[in-house]
Structures are given as structure tokens and as C-alpha cells.
Amino acid sequence: LTLEDIHVMGTAFSSDVQVDEATPTGTSFPVPRTVKILRSASIDEGRSSVSEHEFEWMIQRRPLVVTEESLRLDYGEQEAHAMLSEFSAHGLEKYQGALNWPGVGTRWRQYLNFLREEHARDDNDNNNDNDTRGTAAHDSDANGALTDVDSAFRAFGNSLGRVLTYRALALDDAAYKAITKSDFICPSGQLRVSEQELANVVETKGVRTIAVARLFIAHLARLLGHDPSISLHDDWQTTTLIASGYSNYDRRNSGRSKRVHLFEVSCPVVESLGWTLHEVALQAPSVLGGEADREPWFNFPAPALPEGCWFDGRLQRTERYSLYGLPFLRERLKRCFVFNSSKELTEALRPFANHQAELHARDCMLVERPS
């Protein structure tokens, strides 16, 4: 089963259902003004580029070198074969090292198409005016044209841009101060083992197994031992609801409370995996056996909403998986909110939950409607 098969299976759920990834569902329900803002910063929301030190952070964790064996570990034998065959068929082998970074490997067809378009543009320039092209090529190379795998990785990462996304955590005051001081939100596994041990989990288990283990978390300890990943959510309500399950509001001693802290951050898209939750679920049989759960919608209950909230697993905004953690927090942070009571959490989340229930009901009606 290749990811192309999975894409077909996912979209075949209903030809009538239109999944609009660009619709900013969560922004239609902003964080209520009554919620306290602990910290805010002026970041350039119009900025789409990825900084050089952000690219270097990625490459330090996974160099841009790939082998058939490493691709098989990350994506399975069939997918690895498809990747290498396609790059070879188009004469683009020198760029395939970038597939080692999970944010590229999980988007490999998009990366391949990007490379082909860039080369076609260069060919058109060359055919239009050889003399002018000779000068332009020199200038273009100096400005980051595709000359090798490093330049291709950076160009593709910049083409994906950035996303304003969210991570919520239930923290006491000491834990919040520790995070801000470290300038880093680490995976939960790093609370128990070292950063190097988590990196070894990635290298020995592979991207697909980690993603499946995170989605089907009951199997995580058996499959991985410790979790090297984190989740980001483009709708603040999603991560806030999840964090409510770890919160504790002590009325007698606020210092012992674990309040939900909501971090609003600007992150490079290429830093996260390109798979939706639905695509991960369809790959689960390759890791866990059994049959795939093809139902894209799921209901997630948590203390803030005991009846749960409906989410569409076909949307990447529902959840983005990232490996290794979230670095450079200070420069990426736009705002950090803190919810001071369980009641405040529930009241903030309710409008979004009602909206999601309406979307789910509408989607189910379209699926059940006779053709």
C-alpha cells in the first residue's frame, strides 16, 4: 500500500464532500478577550521565509543524505521504491537526500513536482534567450537557485512558507518559567530521557512508526519506548481541549495548579510532517496489523468538554506532527495565553465545538445522501 493508494482511499470516502484546508475555522472563534495574556511579541505575520538557523537546526538532526535502507525504515518498502524510482525517472537523484528530513519525505511527491517545475522554468529561460540566460544563471545561483540538495531543501522549505499554529500545555508556574528559559518546547519523552536517546528512537524506529504510535497512543510505549514527537494544531481550541485533560486547578493553593498555557507560534511548515491524521490512520495496518479505520471524523472528549468535540482527520490543521520538539520559542512566539479555571476553558471552547458538530453532521448527510 503506497501513499498514493492511501490518498485515493481517503478521498474516496465521499466524492461529494469538499474538504477546504484553507478555511481558518479556529480564527472564526478567537481566544476570548477575557483570557489572560501572559506574554505577547511583535512578530512579522506576513513573513513566509524560513531562517537559515532554522534550516540548520533541521539538518543538524537529520543530514540531507538518504539510502534505500533509511527510506524503507521511514516509509516502508513500497513507498521507498516509489520515491527512488520517481526521482531516477526524472533525473533528479542528486536532490533526493532531502527526503531524509521528515517534512520533505512525507511530502515527497510535492517536493518532486517542485523540482520539476523549477527545472522547467530554467529550461524555458534558457530556450528564450541563451545569452541572457548565461548572465541570469550566475545571478540566480547567487540568490539560491537549485544547484545541489542543500539549495533544493531550502528552496522547497521556503516555498511551503510558515504557519501560525498552537501548542497548549498544562503547566505550573515553575514549568512555564523553565520552558521560557530554555526557549524550547520539548517532546514528552525528553522529560524522561535525553535528547540524544530520543534522536535514536527516530533513527531506529522510522517516521511512519512514530506517527502511527502517536496517533494510536496505547501502543506508543511498546513501539517506541519514549515519544520523540510533538503535536501542533492550527485551531487553538484543539490543543487547548487536549491540554485540559492534564490540567488541575487548585482553589486552595494556586501555586500547585497546572493551568492550561496556550502558545501561539509561527513555524516553518517544512518542520512538520506532511501527513494528515487520516493518512496516518490508513497506514496503521502496516505497523499494527488489522484493518485501517477509514472514518475521517472522530470525537475527542476531555474534561473541558466531556461530551467531546468533533474533528476532521483529513485536515492538516487538525493536527501537525513534528519530531524533535519546537525550538526558537522566543522569536516564534506571538502570544501566550493562560486559562485560569476549568469554567473558563469550557466557555472558551463551546462555540468551536458547536460549529464542529454542525460540520460533522453536514458531512455525514452528504455521505449518506443517495446518488
Predicted confidence (pLDDT) per residue in 95-106, tens digit: 999 999 999 999
Higher pLDDT, 165 or 45: 165
Rg of the chain's alpha carbons, rounded to an integer? 22
DSSP state of 50: P
Determine the Cα–Cα distance for residues 164 and 159; give it in Å rounded to an integer: 16
Cross-strand partners of 302:
305
Higher pLDDT, 24 or 178: 178
Number of H helices, E strands in the chain: 16, 8
**Beta strands 297-302 and 305-312: pairing type?**
antiparallel
Considering the chain, what is the average pLDDT of its residues? 88
Q: Is the pTM of this model over 0.75?
A: yes
Please say if the pLDDT value at position 260 is more than 50. Answer: yes
At residue 322, the 3 state secondary structure works out as strand
Nine-digit cell at 156?
Answer: 522547497
Q: Provide CB contacts within 8 A for 232, sequence distance 6+.
A: 165, 166, 167, 239, 265, 267, 272, 319, 320, 322, 326
Q: Report the pLDDT value the prediction gives residue 16, as an integer from 0 to 100.
A: 32
For 197-245, the pLDDT digits (tens) are 999 999 999 999 999 999 999 999 999 999 999 999 999 999 999 999 9
The model's confidence at residue 196, banded by pLDDT at 50, 70 and 90, is very high
For 300-310, the pLDDT digits (tens) are 999 999 999 99
The lowest-confidence range among 39-48, 230-239, 241-250, 309-318 is 39-48
For 127-152, the pLDDT digits (tens) are 665 655 444 433 334 344 799 999 99
Determine the Cα–Cα distance for residues 213 and 264; give it in Å rounded to an integer: 26
Q: Report the pLDDT value the prediction gives residue 226, as an integer from 0 to 100.
A: 97
Rounded to a whole number of angstroms, the distance between the first and last alpha carbons of the chain is 29
Which of 223, 241, 221 has the alpha carbon at shortest distance from 169? 241
Which of 219, 194, 218, 190 has the alpha carbon at shortest distance from 205? 219
Amino acid, res. 52: E
Nine-digit cell at 34?
Answer: 477575557
The model's confidence at residue 323, banded by pLDDT at 50, 70 and 90, is very high
Determine the Cα–Cα distance for residues 259 and 246; give it in Å rounded to an integer: 9
**Beta strands 36-40 and 297-302: pairing type?**
unpaired
Using CB atoms within 10 A of its CB, is residue 207 exposed (0-12), middle (13-18) or buried (19+)? buried
The model's confidence at residue 121, banded by pLDDT at 50, 70 and 90, is confident
Higher pLDDT, 344 or 10: 344
For 338-363, the pLDDT digits (tens) are 999 999 999 999 999 999 999 999 99
Determine the Cα–Cα distance for residues 177 and 46; give it in Å rounded to an integer: 29
The model's confidence at residue 43, banded by pLDDT at 50, 70 and 90, is confident
Ramachandran region, residue 232 (left: φ > 0; alpha: ψ -120 to 50; beta: rest): beta
Please say if the pLDDT value at position 296 is more than 70. Answer: yes
Q: Report the pLDDT value the prediction gives residue 366, as an integer from 0 to 100.
A: 82
The model's confidence at residue 125, banded by pLDDT at 50, 70 and 90, is low
Q: Report which secondary-structure segment, H or E, holds 367.
A: helix 342-368
Cross-strand partners of 48:
none
Return the number of other C-beta atoms located less than 10 Å from residue 267's C-beta: 21
**CA dist 167 to 264, 296, 316, Å?**
7, 23, 15
Please say if the pLDDT value at position 262 is more than 90. Answer: yes
Higher pLDDT, 8 or 347: 347
Q: Report the pLDDT value the prediction gives residue 164, as an integer from 0 to 100.
A: 95
DSSP state of 66: -
Return the number of other C-beta atoms located less than 10 Å from residue 227's C-beta: 22
At residue 320, the 3 state secondary structure works out as strand
The model's confidence at residue 370, banded by pLDDT at 50, 70 and 90, is low
Determine the Cα–Cα distance for residues 95 and 115; give it in Å rounded to an integer: 8
For 60-97, the pLDDT digits (tens) are 999 999 999 999 999 999 999 999 999 999 999 999 99
Return the number of other C-beta atoms located less than 10 Å from residue 94's C-beta: 13
Q: Report the pLDDT value the prediction gives residue 26, as an integer from 0 to 100.
A: 46
Q: Provide CB contacts within 8 A for 253, sequence distance 6+.
A: none
Q: Report the pLDDT value the prediction gives residue 139, as an integer from 0 to 100.
A: 37
Across the range 257-284, mean pLDDT stands at 97
Q: Report the pLDDT value the prediction gives residue 145, as an integer from 0 to 100.
A: 77
